Chain A
Amino acid sequence: MKMKWLALIVLTIFTAVIAGCGTSGDANIIKIGNAVALTGDNSTWGQAEKNALEMEIEKINAKGGVLGKKLQLVAYDTRADATEGVNVTKRLISDKVVGIIGPGQSGVAIAMSSVTEPAKVPFIATSATNPKVTVDDKTNKVRKYAFRTCFIDPFQGTVAAQFAAKELKAKTAAIVYDVGSDYSAWLGKYFIAEFEKQGGKIVANEAFRSGELDYRAILGKIKGTNPDVIFIPTMQKEAALVMKQAADLGIKTKFVGGDGWGSPDLITLGGSAVEGSYFVNLASMDDPDIQTFIKEYQAKYKADPIMPNPVMAIDALYALIDAMTKTNSTDPAKIAEQLEKTKDLQVLSGKLTIDPNTHDPLNKPAIIQEVKDGKFVFKSKFVTQ
C-alpha cells in the first residue's frame, strides 16, 4: 500500500514538472539565454553582465519589445566551468531560447559549441577572446553558431607586446602564465611572438597550475633574470597575488596584463603592489560613448558595472535583436544566418560588423589602462593594424 502511495506521489510530481515545461513556452515571450558565471572566480563580471542585460531588456520591453513580443532573460550559472557550461547550454536549448549571450570564458565557449552546433542555436560570447571559440582549429572552418562581440587574443597579445616594446621601451620580458587555461597560455604565446618581432628578448617563461596561491618559487627564478617587464596573462586574482609576492621579493619592474585583469578586485587584492601596472581591456569606464549606460546602471544597482562584460553583453543583445527584426523570425537557425551578416550595427560600444569568415567583430579597438592611485586610468587606444 505504501509503495502505491509513493508511486502516485512520484507520478504527480513528474506530471507537474512536465506540465510546467509545457506551459513555459508562452507565445508572447521571446526567451534570450545567458550562460554566465554567477558564482566562482569570474562572478564579479558575470553578475554585472546579468544585471546589465536585465536592465536593458526592461527598457526594451517598456518600449514595446521585439516583433511585438516581450523579451525575457533566462540566465543560468556556468561557474566559468566547461562541464557546467555544457549543462547550462542544454538546459537553455530545452528552454527554447532564440540565442545565447555569453559565456565570457574561452574554455567554456569552446565546450559549449559541441552542443550549440548540432542544436543550431547561436551563442554570442561576451569576453571569450581565444580564436578557437569561433573557428574550429582542426578543420580551420568557422563554427556556424558561434559568435562574439570582443576582440581576439592574437590582437590582444600583439597590442600588449607593442605597448611594452614601444611605450615602455622594454628590451627584455618574462611571462608568468596559467598552464591550465587556454586563455592564459595562448595570450602568452601571442605576446612572445610579437615581442620578439619588435626586437625584444624573452628571458623567462614560467607556468603555474590553475588555483596556485604561492608564486614565490617562480618569481625567485625570474628575479635573477632581471626583466624590464613581466607579462601576466591571467585573471585578476592570480595577477594580484603574483604582483604582491613580487613586491615581497623586492622585484622592481613594470607589469603588463590582458583583459582578465579588469576587475576592481585587482586593486583590493593587490593594493600598492599593482600600482603603475598596465593592461589591455575591451571597454573602459572612461569611454564617453557608454556614460549614459554607466549612469543608468549605477542608479539601478547602486554599484559600478564591472567592465567589460556588461558592455559586450549588451552589444550581443542588440546583435540578436537586429537579427530577429531583420529576419522577422525567432528561429535560432535563421537568426544565426543573419548574425553573420551584421554590418555597421549601432551597439553600445560603437559600430558592430561581424566578419563572416571568422565570426569575430571587425575593427574593435583595444584600450590600455593603467592602475593609478587605486583606479583604472585610460592610457591609450590601439586599433587593429
Chain B
Amino acid sequence: MFIQTLVTGLAIGGIYALMAVGYSLVFSILNFSNFAYGSIIMLGAYIGYFSLMKMGVPVYGAIIASIIGAAFLCLLNERLAYSTLRKRNASSLYFMISAMGTSIFLENLVYATIGSRFYAFPEVLTQQNISFGGVSIGLLDVFAIVFSFTAIYALHYFLQNSRTGIAIRAASYDMQVSQLNGVNISKTIGWVFLLAGALAGISGMFLGMKYMVYPTMGWITNKAYIAAVIGGLGSLPGAVVGGLLLGVLETFVSAYVSSVVRDVFSFSLLVILLLVLPTGLFGKFLEEKV
C-alpha cells in the first residue's frame, strides 16, 4: 500500500506541478497571482473536447488546438484585463482583483452558453494502465510527470538562450530599465502569457481526460497556487517540486489519516513552511526571479 500511495501521490502531484508552472511563469514577470488561470485551463479543456468530439479532429490535433486556443485566450486575457492596469502602474492588488473578475466572468460565460453539463473524453484515451508488482499507474499520469519536467526544461532553455527569453528575464528584474534599454515590454509580456496559456491548454486537456470537463473545473488550480508558494513563488523548478510534494503529502494524509482533514494538513504545512522559509523552498529574493 505504501508504494501504491506514493505512486498515486506523484501522479496527482504531477497535475499540480503542470499547472503550477504556468501560474508561476506569470507571477515571475508581473508579480501577481493570475487567478484567471484556472478558467483558461477550463476553456482549454473545452476546446480540446469539442474539437475531438464534435469536429472529428484526431487526438494530437485536439491537443494542439487546445494549446493554441488556450494560449491565445491567455494573451487576450492579458490584453483586456491587465494591460491597461499595467500602463497605469496599478498595484498588484488590482491585477489580482481583475483576475478574479475575469475568472468568474469566464466560468459564468460557459454556464450561460455551453451549459453546466459534464463531458468525458472517450475511454480508449483514458484507461490505459501500467502495472508492476501490484502497483498500478495510469499512462496519463506518467505522461503528466514526464511532461511537467520536459516543459520545465524547454522553458528553462527558452528563457536562457532565446532573445525573447533574455528579454523576459530582463523585464522580470526591472521592467522600466529594460524598457529604456530597448525591450518591447508589451511584446515580452505577450510572450509570457502565450507560453503560460500553452501550458494551461495542455493542463486542461490532461485534467479533462483524467477526470471530466465542466465549468468549475478550474478550481483545482487553487492547489497549483499552493504548490507554487511551497516551491517558491516565481521559481519554475520550485513549482514542480512544490506540486509533487503537495500531491504526495495529500495522498498520504488521505490514505493514512482521512481525506476529510487532507486540506487541513496541506494548508498547515503551507503556513509552517512559510514561517520557516518565507520565500518557499526554492524562493529567492524578488530581484532574482526566474
Contact = CB atoms under 8 A, between A and B. Distances in A.
A213 interface: yes
B136 A250 contact: yes
Interface stretch (A85-93, A105-113, A241-249, A276-284): A241-249
B219 interface: yes
B123 A209 contact: no
Given A207-B258, A217-B259, A268 B4 contact: no
Contacts of A212: 259
A138 to B, nearest CB: 25
A40 interface: yes
Contacts of A217: 5, 8-9, 250-252, 254-255, 259
B4 A220 contact: yes
The majority secondary structure among interface residues of chain A is helix
B116 A43 contact: yes
Nearest to A208: B259
A250 B9 CA distance: 17
B12 to A, nearest CB: 6
Given A207-B258, A216-B11, A249-B4, 11 more contacts: A39-B116, A216-B8, A216-B12, A217-B250, A237-B118, A240-B120, A240-B212, A241-B212, A248-B138, A249-B136, A268-B120
B118 A218 contact: no
Q: Which of A211, A248, A265, A268 is the most central at the interface, judged by chain B CB atoms within 10 Å of its CB?
A: A248
A271 interface: yes
Contacts of A269: 118, 120, 212
Given A218-B255, A248-B136, A271 B120 contact: yes
A269 B258 CA distance: 26
Q: Which of A39, A44, A211, A217 is the most central at the interface, judged by chain B CB atoms within 10 Å of its CB?
A: A217
Given A221-B1, A271-B123, A272-B123, A44 B117 contact: yes
A247 B127 contact: yes
27 contacts: A39-B116, A41-B116, A43-B117, A44-B117, A206-B258, A206-B259, A207-B260, A208-B259, A209-B263, A213-B211, A213-B220, A214-B12, A214-B211, A217-B251, A218-B255, A221-B255, A224-B1, A240-B120, A241-B211, A241-B212, A247-B127, A248-B136, A249-B136, A250-B129, A268-B120, A269-B212, A271-B123
B267 interface: no
